[in-house]
Amino acid sequence: MPAPAIKTDSPFWQLPVTALLEQLSASHDGLSSAEAALRLTRFGPNLIHGERKKALILQFLAKFKNPLVVILLTASALSAFTGDATSFFIIGTIVLISVTLDFVQEYRAGQAADRLRQSVAVRGQVLRNGKLLEIPLADMAYLAVRGSGAVNGVSRLHGEVSRGIFQSLFPHWPEIEVPVGHVTNGVHMPSWDSAEADALWTDYCGKERWLGMTEALGEKIRCAPDDKLWQLRADARKSLVGYVRERLSKQLAASGATPEEIGSAQHISEYYSRDRNGIPVAWVARIRESMARLTTHFSSNRTVRQYTEHYYIPAAAAYHERAADKGEAGAQVVAWQHALDRGWANLRFGEVAIAKNGDQHIFEVQVYLNGLDPDAVQVELYAEGVNGGDPVRKEMTCGPKLVGAENGYVYGAQVQATRSATDYTTRVIPHRTGIAVPLEAAHILWQR
């Protein structure tokens, strides 16, 4: 009986190993050294090319775009205009020192990051001519991002920095939309808090407080009275100061300090403004609010729940959906991606019309999709965020088909006229239910 024919257009995960190797022009012995060198020349290394650095003078001048710096410079100019030379000189000097320090710190941080990047050698094992070899890999992060269903940092700042690092993987996408989220790390509270803090939390929140939902714990701990919070703080301070004194005394003794110097380490002065009961009420209020707001937020309970709700459950649901019916949905996603790859270069914008009706800006734009299905893309009205805020993204509605055009349509949208119409532009991005854009489809076309 002859072997069944292999469909060359089948998704790679449905192919037999032999057929897959044949399609990839590889073998069970891996690539030959010559073939590996040829592919490296053709496709290049797995390297993330960072953003091209600006000249140092341009980086320095960019610091003057800070709104606070602009305000201070304006004040300095007004002082000069009114003849107040002293204020002009003082404000100008402060601005120059501040900008210079900011520039130097950022430059040094960038240099340190470059040195760290160069010092990290990532290596991987590959088959070459039937032998297992270890070779340097240009950047495993590139492969990791390309093969992930979601990417996240472990803090808000980590997410922001990572979006800048990986922006080159998503050409023409704004940095704020680079698909790197964040889940801030948390601590395991039952093993982290002190015995004294545990006793206080138990009195007001119960012994099993970390075994369930944590939303109500903040209000419960706010019920703790001032005297108990202050006593907790005093006990914690006594323990900390005692530890510091002991360590400092040992360090001084080891360094040959005199008995007088060692004795001075045993006395640390402190002053608080307290009420008639000896309790600094305002300070205790800060302690109470800090415990109520921050403890639950930075607990591992919140971390695990956020990972589960934002990443693990969506990933499991996406897998089951795409794996159903022997991967039929997954095959359709691959076909959709291939269609985008083939047809994206044919997309183009036509005329743009902008009108104002009362407090609304009305936008209409012609989009020529050519061979692409209108359901495979989304046309958006876009404006950058103000003062570091989120960008404005307004989905445009597909309207009438353009007469005489191949798959051309008029898309429309309207927004509040609180900003200038020139702040907005239009763009086309991939669209499909259940797809992470731009992580799984990084195409994008801007009108300007």
Per domain, the residue ranges of the chain are: 1-145, 197-295, 345-446
pLDDT of residue 140: 67
Query: For the stretch 20-53, what's the b/e string if a residue is b when 16 or more beta carbons lie within 10 angstroms of its beta carbon?
Result: eeeeeeeeeebbeeeebeeeeeeeeebebeeeee
pLDDT band for position 343 (50/70/90)? very high
pLDDT band for position 271 (50/70/90)? very low
Q: What integer is the mean pLDDT of 350-374?
A: 94
Q: What fold, for 345-446?
A: Immunoglobulin-like (2.60.40)
pLDDT at 270 over 60: no
Q: What integer is the mean pLDDT of 42-69?
A: 75
Average per-residue pLDDT for the chain:
85
pLDDT at 272 over 60: no
Say which residue, 118 or 399, is predicted with more confidence: 399
Contact 182, 153 (CB under 8 A): yes
pLDDT of residue 262: 57
The pTM assigned to this predicted structure is 0.64
